[in-house]
Amino acid sequence: MDAIHLEDLAFFAYHGVHEEEARLGQRFHIDLSCYLDLDPAGRKDEIALTVNYAELVGVVEEVVTRTRFRLIERLAGAVAERVLAFDPRIERVRVRVHKPGAPLPIATGRVSVEVDRQRGG
């Protein structure tokens, strides 16, 4: 299956279980893979036959910045749901949410979750 990948999209938002995360906010990074048939766009070289990347980024930004989630698992699921609803040509979506500022008891590290959803599944 063909795919469009958008990687390391950075957004400032207020997700988290801890009160200071909701108050102060932090950066979240999103990796997105959308699976669809890219053959028509590739053959005719027309944007109308594929997913517009700029519009897709706007859809992700809307979910990430306009709703507060306690868990990044829920954030990832909400992004996946919205992307599938955005364009019926997208048959499957994989979303990875990175939370570089997660409160961990070590000096470095990064937490991420990944969800994989498909239409009708």
**Does 44 qualify as catalytic in the annotation?**
no
Question: How does strand 26-35 pair with strand 3-13?
Answer: antiparallel
Catalytic residue, chosen from 69, 99, 108, 110, is: 99
> Which residues are part of the catalytic machinery?
99
